[in-house]
Amino acid sequence: MKNFIPNLRRRISRRACLRAASLFPTAGLAASRASATVTREGNVHTIDDVDTPAVVIDLDVLEKNINGMQQVCHDAGIDLMVHIKTHKVPQIAHMQLRAGAVGICCQKLGEAEVMVAAGIDGDVLIPYNIVGRPKLVRLARLAKRARMTVAVDSEITAKGISEQLRKDGASVRVFVELDTGGKRTGVQSPQAAVELAGKVSKLPNLELRGVMTYPSRLEAKAFIEETVALFRKAGLPIEEISGGGTGAEARSKEIGCTVHRSGSYVFEGLKRISASRNPPNPDTCATRMIATVVSTPTPDRIIIDGGQKTFQRGPRRGYGHIVEHPDAVIYGMSVEHGHVDVSAVSHKFRVGERLSVIPDHQGITINHHDEAYAVRKGLIEDVWKVAGRGRVQ
């Protein structure tokens, strides 16, 4: 635990390693050779020792996902800009940059502040309309410390940014955001894109950089091609075309993007998890919520010590996958209780037993927690502060 514990490391017993290793399918005998971190109180830390509910991140899977995505983008011939909103952990962002990402993308200014403060010094993109004086002042401050790019889809937003940056003596690069079918933000046509780009290019302290869209779908191709042609005709710069979405890296290349933003892959694997096509899989999903059985009220129901405030509020497809008992179904959540149907499981659960759950939405889950344990083969190597959690402004 580099962050909290000064230089205290000791070897742990083979039995403790094996017990801890059983929680992770990737764990094995090698665990007995590793050294574990030790708490301030001198206790050896394996996953077995952490209080619950606790987020743990399997470093072997995390590294596999990070390197795998880098390779996917390399093979597709497109740059990777990692979206850190998935994890909000500076240490993971550093790992992604070391693996070859060209920069980071933050959904919110607050996340960008945290990352820059943690020493991220590459390109930082906020693909979000930044509106209102408090944020503009912060953006100007940040732009003096890092190379910032922001996205805009209206003149009023672009003007607000330009005016504040001029006052404060800072500048940012700008993408015009295209709504190519995502129906969220973005200008509605290539003509609207070139009109806005023309205005941006004349505003002080803004450097027009290109366009961005999300998600990268085939339907976007014609929109992007027409936009590029109109930019060129108008003599406007279009150095970068940025697409996004885990699993759509090659698609981004196909529709004409030069850079791709992926986020969820870091925890979920190289394609988004989904109930039918790609269900949660211990080999590709890096996070686990370690929970304790706190009640076994009936033979077919157990209760774990994590509910909506530990996982997420409502189910998208389900709440999570219990690694040790895949047939157990987390069917409901109170605020602090998880309700599990164990009628299809022959195992007899007891109070105090620990379960490792792959949360259905790993990004939302980690945002509920202050810390995450970085674990390899059942042993804790580090404790990471989820520094960007709650930074929604």
**Residues forming the site for ligand PLP (CB under 6 A):** 83, 86, 127, 214, 244-246, 261-265, 272
Nearer to ligand PLP, 90 or 245 (CB): 245
Nearer to ligand PLP, 251 or 368 (CB): 251
In the bound complex, what is the minimum distance in angstroms from residue 246's beta carbon to ligand PLP?
Answer: 3
Nearer to ligand PLP, 162 or 213 (CB): 213
Nearer to ligand PLP, 83 or 376 (CB): 83
Nearer to ligand PLP, 26 or 262 (CB): 262
**Residue corresponding to tokens 């039995």:** 15
Instruction: Say if CB 87 and CB 95 are below 8 A apart.
Output: no
- DSSP 8-state assignment for residue 375: E
Nearer to ligand PLP, 46 or 149 (CB): 149
- CB-count burial class (<10 Å; 0-12, 13-18, 19+) for 195: middle
Q: Which pair of tokens denotes residue 288?
A: 């686990």
In the bound complex, what is the minimum distance in angstroms from residue 126's beta carbon to ligand PLP?
Answer: 10
In the bound complex, what is the minimum distance in angstroms from residue 127's beta carbon to ligand PLP?
Answer: 4
In the bound complex, what is the minimum distance in angstroms from residue 146's beta carbon to ligand PLP?
Answer: 19
d(CA 227, CA 212): 11
d(CA 366, CA 115): 16
Taking every pair of Cα atoms in the chain, the longest distance, rounded to a whole number of angstroms, is: 71
Instruction: Say if CB 70 and CB 59 are below 8 A apart.
Output: no
What's the alpha-carbon Rg for the chain, to the nearest Å? Answer: 23
Nearer to ligand PLP, 214 or 373 (CB): 214
Comparing CA positions, the residue from 259, 358, 264, 368 lying closest to residue 310 is 368
In the bound complex, what is the minimum distance in angstroms from residue 107's beta carbon to ligand PLP?
Answer: 6
In the bound complex, what is the minimum distance in angstroms from residue 242's beta carbon to ligand PLP?
Answer: 8
In the bound complex, what is the minimum distance in angstroms from residue 261's beta carbon to ligand PLP?
Answer: 4
H helices present in 217-288, as ranges: 220-234, 249-254, 265-268
Residue 260's CB is within 10 A of a number of other CB atoms, namely 29
- Name the residue whose CB lies closest to ligand PLP: 244
Nearer to ligand PLP, 25 or 122 (CB): 122
d(CA 20, CA 48): 6
d(CA 202, CA 215): 29
Residue 385: C-alpha distances to residues 10, 114, 366 (Å) = 23, 11, 10
Positive or negative torsion for Cα 138, 144, 150, 156: positive
In the bound complex, what is the minimum distance in angstroms from residue 42's beta carbon to ligand PLP?
Answer: 40
